[in-house]
Chains A and B, each alone.
Chain A
Amino acid sequence: MAFIPHTADDIDRMLEYIGAQSIDDLFDEIPAGLRAGALKLPPAMGEMELGRLLTERAMGDGRPVNFIGAGAYEHHIPAPVWAITTRGEFYSAYTPYQAEASQGTLQLIYEYQSMMCALTGMEVSNASLYDGASALAEACLMAVRANRGSSSRRVLVPRTVNPTYRQVAHAIAGNQGMVFESVEFDRSTGRTALAAVQPYSGQDVTALVIQQPNFFGCLEEVDELTDWAHQNKILVIAVVNPISLAVLKAPGQWGTRTDAGHGADIVCGEGQPLGVPLSSGGPYFGFMTTRMQYVRQMPGRIVGRTVDTQGRPGFSLTLQAREQHIRRSKATSNICTNQGLLVTAATIYMSLLGAAGLQRVAAASLQRTADLVARLSAVAGVKAAFTTPRFHEAVLLLDRAVPPVLSALAQHGILGGLDLTDRYPELGHALLVCATETKLDVDIDAYAAALADVMHVSRAAA
């Protein structure tokens, strides 16, 4: 019996001790009319047999060379990261409620929180949320609690923010009367212009979301947007790529104010680039940091350093009174967990890379993307959509429909990028491409050659 250690003798002795005739007796409180019949499920498989099936299925999906980003990025993951993360003591432990028997997990989360504060330039971090998209939803709800001067529940979401994030924010926060208003982007720069938010000056707005780098890979003018928001008593929610923060201004420094009010108010984003594999979209983790003054409005677990009864340092979950198991319907969120295992991976990743390594990853990714854009836009019928400074993604415009081009590239073993036609029809035949440090010259050459081939063939066919 799979994973059941009981021998026939054990079963007999246990039933006798309980005073039951059979195991089925233990279910005699379930009304007979409700009892289930035989389940229509496949029979059990051994590990060897199942391993073969799964290997076949996995191999069948192949390993194309990937140039898609759009919120999930392929980076090198150092071997120690998952070798340690999958140790049973991390992998099979529960949420660290029994602090004395969970100091490993707790100290690790404290180290994680410290690293995220350092990276984002903020004062406090939670122990993580589910993913980047849901972290933005939680950040919007948090902004309502934190911005006491606003009662509108209106959040400005530029269209340069990942469109899926907006959908998720709407699905999660929409039931609580939140209103998400779109802000158009500048068609020539791919950025959110100050002029696009200025019509909201003087209005009751709870928060402005700024994604840096934005969904197109372009760098937003974060200082002027932050200054404008603060002048209008609007909180700034920064959505950032953690790798980019090795080279880009930390959200805690956004804006030109020099007093205590400088910087973004809530910072969140997708933690996946920090050592988490693409894995079909999850599990990833969302991160969130903020100012100390808003710590009680922040959702999710938080670990604090304290002392034990003998004065020795130790770690425990703190500020739990905000959470669902105590505050019930008045909790900051219904969230119970963090994404502990992914945080473990990210903390090991950040420790191995350090500031210098992350800076190298960011610089290499930026360089690879620049190389890619240069090579691809040299192909006839392809040009870059924006010349704005960017991080490691770019929008390309094709002279024909994108989906057939992507299908043809797939035949060459290349995932050529994300088709933006549905998300941004006004851009025309737009394709979002990404190259991280994992893409070598040979990969970029292969993409450029395949694209030239595909564009040439389809032109010939046309």
Chain B
Amino acid sequence: MSDIPNDLRYTKSHEWMRKVPGGAPNGVVEIGISQHAQSALGDLVFVEVPEVGRNLKAGEASAVVESVKAASDVYSPVSGKVIAGNGELAAQPELVNEDPYGTGWLFRVQTHAPLDEDSLMSAAAYAQFLADEAK
């Protein structure tokens, strides 16, 4: 289903991760929040992405997404160095609402170790996770 693209991996805290083709030896990943997460937050009014060059540990609070009713940390699913943040979001936080898997991406990380994609959920597993959470 379009709400949960098949080519991405997901976390229980509702981040998604996309492998960027090419890139450095251990790979580069792009990170954002899921359709479910943006919809739960509502209209975003502010997004803060990590500074380029910052070293992140997996599970570390790395970005903040804020709506009028909630502010939420975004946790990096992987360890690595930030190589890009989505600068568009400073002026247009609504991109995360409108296109969470595309123009609403948050930041890119060059991973420290070879990526173990299986540590994260597949689209099917995430869909099941959301269904369980809703119960």
Contacts and interface: CB of A to CB of B under 8 A. Distances in A.
A and B in direct contact, judged by CB atoms within 8 A:
yes
Interface of A: 148, 296, 318, 320-322, 326-327, 330
Contacts of A320: 68
Please classify how large the interface on chain B is, using the bins under 10, 10 to 19, 20 to 34, 35 or more.
Answer: 10 to 19
7 contacts: A148-B51, A296-B48, A321-B45, A321-B46, A321-B66, A321-B70, A326-B69
B67 interface: yes
Interface of B: 45-46, 48, 51, 66-71, 73
A321 B73 CA distance: 12
A327 B46 CA distance: 15
B45 to A, nearest CB: 8
A326 B70 contact: yes
B61 to A, nearest CB: 9
A321 B71 contact: yes
Contact of B69 (A148, A296, A321, A330): A321
A426 B83 CA distance: 54
Shortest Cβ-Cβ A-B pairs, 3 listed: A321-B71, A321-B66, A327-B71
Nearest to A296: B46
Contacts of B68: 318, 320-321
A321 B43 CA distance: 13
Nearest to B73: A330
Nearest to A332: B71
A322 B48 CA distance: 13
Contacts of A296: 46, 48, 66
A326 B71 CA distance: 8
Contacts of B45: 321
B71 A322 contact: yes
Contacts of A318: 68
Contacts of A148: 51
Contacts of B70: 321, 326
Contacts of B51: 148
A284 to B, nearest CB: 30
A169 to B, nearest CB: 26
B52 to A, nearest CB: 13
B16 to A, nearest CB: 22
Contacts of B48: 296
Given A326-B69, A330-B73, 4 more contacts: A321-B66, A321-B67, A326-B71, A330-B71
